Amino acid sequence: MRRFTQAIKKKFTSGKPGRVLDAEYFYYDTAPDYNHDLAIVCGGYEKCAPDFDINRNNYPYYFVKYTIRGKGTLDINAQMLPLKPGVLTGFEPGTAHHYKADPVDPMEHIFVTFVGRQAAELFTKSTLRQKHFIETADANSMQKLCHKILDIGLQKPPFSQEICCHYLCILLIEMAVSCANSTTQLSLSMRTYQKCKTYIDAHFSWIQTPGEVAEQCDIDVRYMASLFKRYCHIPPSQYIMGLKLNKAANLLLTTDDKIKEIAEQIGFADPYHFSKNFKQFHGRSPNHYRYEHMRDTKATGTP
Average pLDDT of the residues in 38-44: 95
Domains of the chain with bracketed CATH: 6-181 (2.60.120.280), 188-300 (1.10.10.60)
Dump pLDDT digits (tens) for 52-93: 999 999 889 999 999 999 999 999 998 999 999 999 999 999
Phi then psi for 146, rounded to 5 degrees? -65, -40
Residue 135, Cβ density class (10 Å: 0-12 exposed, 13-18 middle, ≥19 buried): buried
**Cα–Cα dist 79/75, whole Å:** 6
Q: List, in order, residues 6 or more apart from 1 with CB less than 8 Å away.
A: 22, 24, 45
Query: What global pTM score does this model have?
Result: 0.67
Average pLDDT of the residues in 226-236: 93
**Cα–Cα dist 19/48, whole Å:** 6
Say what percent of the chain tops pLDDT 70.
88
The yes-or-no verdict on residue 24 having pLDDT over 90 is yes
The yes-or-no verdict on residue 221 having pLDDT over 50 is yes
Contact between 221 and 192 under an 8 Å Cβ cutoff? The reply is: no
Q: What is the mean pLDDT of the chain?
A: 87
CB count within 10 Å of CB 208 equals 10
pLDDT at 147: 96
Nearest of 173, 157, 226 to residue 196 by alpha carbon: 226
Let me know how long the chain is.
303
